[in-house]
A and B are shown apart, each in its own frame.
Chain A
Amino acid sequence: MTPTILSVDDSKTIRMVLARLFRPFVCELIEAANGEEGLAVAAQKRPDLIILDYNMPVMDGLTMLRRLREDAALKRTPVIMLTAESGCENIATVARLGVRDYLTKPFREDQLLAKAGRLIPLVPRPDP
């Protein structure tokens, strides 16, 4: 089955970077621009992995994460948190909410792929 990845970030650039990064792999990448939109998309699509920004307008990543954990259908969805802030308090807070991994922006693309690959199967797309 093709894994679905939900990218939630208010930055279109970051969403484009993730689209380029996961393009060589068999997966479906879907997007949302804030936590509120992310919750709606997650409820509809049931992603296999969420890559979630911390600092966003409308609804931030921490609030979205708390809401995900309250939802019986989504509470076990693995989440990788992306954030510009690297404080220990932030790491501890999101770890308590079951975040599987955490990357500080600017992140190395190979590190994000490695972390994602530990949570979902990343199979290279066959050559066209």
Chain B
Amino acid sequence: MSDFEVRPDLDRVGEDALREVLGTFLGWSVAELPPSAGVAGAEAEVWLQATVPLTGPRLSGCLQIQLPRAFVAEAVRRLALPTHRAPVGDTEVEDLAGELGNMLAGQVTARLRIQGYSCELGLPQVAAVPDAQPSGHSRTVWSCHGHRLTLEIRLRCLPP
């Protein structure tokens, strides 16, 4: 959360969005972890990073979530069974990672709008990342369904 002249409470906004998306869509709860928890043990996992651009008259930036592939694969099975019996492939996993990013960004924009910052979403971009990136000062770390996730909202805002 750098570059603010007036700072929306992005930690709170991100937390509310994450709880809403994972709770409503998957029925899974989340708990916040200390920032250092994001890297420990992550080397063994394959990670996906979904990035969604956010743009508006008085803000620009993006939302970024990093998810272990195994977490997303479990979520695909949770959402699609029993209609989808085939093994969960990269297409499904990357699709859901992007959709989770999209939903999170939608929840974030709704909350920012209430604080006077209207903005629109771009299309999500998903990329594999070698491991959980070292925690930046604006990144929060979460535990969900036995996995660690990281969420970061990077915005440059002008005063209302």
Give the interface of A toward B (CB within 8 A): 11-14, 16-17, 19-20, 23, 55, 57, 83-87, 104-108
CA distance A10 to B110 in the complex (A): 22
Contacting residues, chain B, for A12 (C-beta < 8 A): 91-92, 95
A84 x B80 contact (CB < 8 A): no
Residue of B nearest to A85 (CB): B106
User: Beta-carbon contacts of B52-92 to A below 8 Å, as 1s and 0s?
Assistant: 00000000000000000000000010011111100000011
B51 interface residue (CB < 8 Å to A): no
B14 CB-CB contact with A under 8 Å:
no
Judge whether A85 and B79 touch: CB under 8 Å. Answer: no
- A13 contacts B79, C-beta separation under 8 Å: yes
B residues within 8 Å of A by Cβ?
Answer: 20-21, 24-25, 76, 79-84, 91-92, 95-96, 98-99, 102-103, 105-107, 109-110, 113, 118, 120-121, 123
CB-based contact B79/A17 at 8 Å: yes
CA separation between A45 and B121, bound complex, in Å?
31
What is the CB-to-nearest-CB distance from A104 to chain B, in angstroms, rounded to a whole number? 7
Which of B24, B99, B120 is A11 in contact with, Cβ under 8 Å?
Answer: B99
Cβ–Cβ contact B92 & A13, under 8 A? yes
Q: Tell whether, in the assembled complex, residue A16 and residue B79 are in contact, meaning their CB atoms are under 8 Å apart.
A: yes
Give every chain A residue within 8 A of B107 (Cβ-Cβ).
84
**Can you sample 22 A-B contacts with CB below 8 Å?**
A11-B95, A11-B96, A12-B95, A16-B79, A17-B79, A19-B80, A19-B83, A20-B80, A20-B82, A20-B83, A83-B106, A84-B103, A84-B106, A84-B107, A85-B110, A85-B120, A87-B109, A87-B113, A104-B106, A104-B110, A105-B25, A106-B20
A20: which B residues are within 8 A, CB to CB? 79-84
Measured in the bound complex, the distance between the Cα atoms of B76 and A12 in whole Å is: 10
Complex formed: what's the CA distance from A87 to B82 in Å?
Answer: 34
B123 and A85 form a contact (CB under 8 A): no
A87, B102: Cβ atoms under 8 Å?
Answer: no
A54 to chain B, nearest CB (A): 9
* Distance (whole angstroms) from the CB of A93 to the closest CB of chain B: 13
Q: How far is the CA of A14 from the CA of B99 in the complex (A)?
A: 8
Residues of B within 8 A of A108 (CB): 24
